[in-house]
Structure 1
Amino acid sequence: MLEGRDNIQRDFDRVERWAHANLMKFNQAKCKVLHLGRGNPKHKYRLDGEWIENSPEEKVLVDEKLNRSWQCALVAQKANHMLGYTKRNMASRSREVILFLYSALVETPPGVLHPALESSAKEGHGPIGAGPEEGHEDDQRAGAPLL
């Protein structure tokens, strides 16, 4: 176990030397160590002469139990916020425009339609490609911006 710890510390030292050689400095407050697995001795590491904090989980990575459910919940929440923003601020309510903007702003797997988008599609906006000339005058207001 000590050999692994020494290798990790050596990597931190190498990164530190590289940063100094390139006249860069790490923001120590943003540097954290994520200890993976159970029964991990949670060794301490140093960077630029200071101890690096431990963290039980990090933003878009995984938690110490290798669980990604927290990340999935955050991604879903962000997607829902973006969908709400898109729906509130659009002049056009056509399904085609909503899908285009949503897919441009939030990456979704192919063939997956968010339930809120499905409800917009069921409000009588017609199939994708149906425009004002096909009886959907409210889909695109003349001269109105999309966002």
Structure 2
Amino acid sequence: MPRPTGWVEITRDDVLREQMSDVKLKSGRRCIVVAGTLNDPYTGKTIHFAKADASAVQIDHIAPLAYVWRLGANTWTQAQRNAYANDTATVLLAVDGPANEAKGDSGPSQWMPANKAFACTYATKFTAVLVKYQLPVPLADKAALTRAFATC
């Protein structure tokens, strides 16, 4: 499914700087991340990020843009969509690229992280997003979140 129009996203470098360790910046440019280490929450792997293989680490919207669009974000103003798309405190997470691609625009009933130790945290983060943005929880996703909370 194509991404809904009208979203403006924060630069990935901002999120990478915040969420990776051993960050190396481009010489003379304090804002461009060229390398770093990510302890990937979705897979449990340690990823040694290099700009040459940028797709290895992607920035995930914990509740995907198309998912929240279907839950009611389609009625939001442009400012509300921008706030959601750029919310580094609640919505954005640096993760393993292939895991993020596998997730796509799925909710918890269709996709959960392979790293079972992260299931509780993922469910907590996903729920926090829906609460903060006053979005409903579909029944199938509520059941999947409840199962994940049982691992806490």
Provide TM-score, normalisation by structure 1.
Answer: 0.28
Q: Which structure is larger by alpha-carbon Rg, 1 or 2?
A: 1
Which structure has the highest strand share of the two?
Answer: 2
For CA contacts below 8 A with separation 6 or more, give which structure has more relative contact order.
2
